[in-house]
Amino acid sequence: MPSRPMIGYAHVTKSFGALKAVDDLSLDIAEGEFVAIVGGSGSGKTTLLRLANRLIEADGGTITVEGEDVQNVDPVALRRRIGYVFQSGGLFPHLSVADNIGITPRLLGVPPSDIGARVDELLELVQLDRAAHRDRLPEALSGGQRQRVGVARALAAKPRIVLMDEPFGALDPLTRDALGDDYRSLHRSLGLTTVMITHDMTEAILLADRIAVMRSGKLLAQGTPAELSRSSDAYVLELLRTPRRQVERLNALLPHGGAA
């Protein structure tokens, strides 16, 4: 692991009234790493993610992005250099697909002709047909197509870091699986650093290099799936039991010997 993390949380605390959403949490994310943050509702996952790009401000501790304390970076400038994928795509309903994808480059003053070329490049990257989708409004797209546009928009300004908040949670299982695989390939080929929030342990195991488990604002455990399976924490082991149980049930219900 490099000495300077791409994203670093050191003793970070954030409260909302009496609720400690993030409680003295420290976590380093290395360049090129894909980290999934898992935990139940109210564990502090989304708060932790939003602290990195200052959508929420921390009460205490230090957060660094590319070695820089985020408190020393203009929040708008910080957000423009970090891709963010929302749960339901988060697209602007009145803007076409091309305008949704091109919004950050436009705000950064990129010339229109360059934005047009970048939109075409990104549609190809997320496997959407340019002619068929460029001028459509989000309402004319399927859920999976909207999420692909959301990923394209997050990548438009060529960020090195992408934050994803339950990005595939609202999709049907086949679309979710395909899009997860496609994003993992993009993460690798573009050399991104990705932090993904999910409550789905199976998704975390299949996509991430490392998993961080949160509960009640605290980091309970972190590591590869193999490392987590050696944890002595009952909650961590319970989270890992779910995918195993699903596999056992599937194996019992599905006939053997078919194509894998």
Each residue's pLDDT tens digit in the chain (260 positions)?
446 899 999 999 999 999 999 999 999 999 999 999 999 888 999 999 999 999 999 999 999 999 999 999 999 999 989 999 988 778 999 999 999 999 999 998 999 999 999 999 999 999 999 999 999 999 999 999 999 999 999 999 999 999 999 998 888 888 889 999 999 999 999 999 999 999 889 999 999 999 999 999 999 999 999 999 899 999 999 888 888 787 788 888 887 755 55
Domains, the chain, with CATH or none: 7-81+159-253 (3.40.50.300)
Contact of 204 with 211, CB cutoff 8 Å: yes
> Cα torsion at 17, 20, 23, 28 (round to 10°)?
-90
191 phi/psi in degrees, rounded to 5: 65, 40
Distance CA 258, CA 260 (A): 6
Q: 221-256: string of b/e by CB count within 10 Å (b at 16+)?
A: bbeebeebeebeeebbeebbeebeeeeeeeeeeeee
Distance CA 217, CA 175 (A): 31
Q: Exposed, middle or buried, 161 (CB in 10 Å: 0-12/13-18/19+)? A: buried
State the SS3 of the chain.
CCCCCCEEEEEEEEEECCEEEEEEEEEEECCCCEEEEECCCCCCHHHHHHHHCCCCCCCEEEEEECCEEHHHCCHHHHHHCEEEECCCCCCCCCCCHHHHHCHHHHHCCCCHHHHHHHHHHHHHHCCCCHHHHCCCCHHHCCHHHHHHHHHHHHHCCCCCEEEEECCCCCCCHHHHHHHHHHHHHHHHHHCCEEEEEECCHHHHHHHCCEEEEEECCEEEEEECHHHHCCCCCHHHHHHHHHHHHHHHHHHHHCCCCCCC
pLDDT of res. 150: 95
Contact of 6 with 159, CB cutoff 8 Å: no
Distance CA 153, CA 162 (A): 11
Distance CA 55, CA 78 (A): 10
The single-letter code of the amino acid at 225 is P
Record the tokens describing residue 152, joined without a space. Answer: 């394209």
Other CB atoms closer than 10 Å to residue 63's CB: what's the count?
A: 21
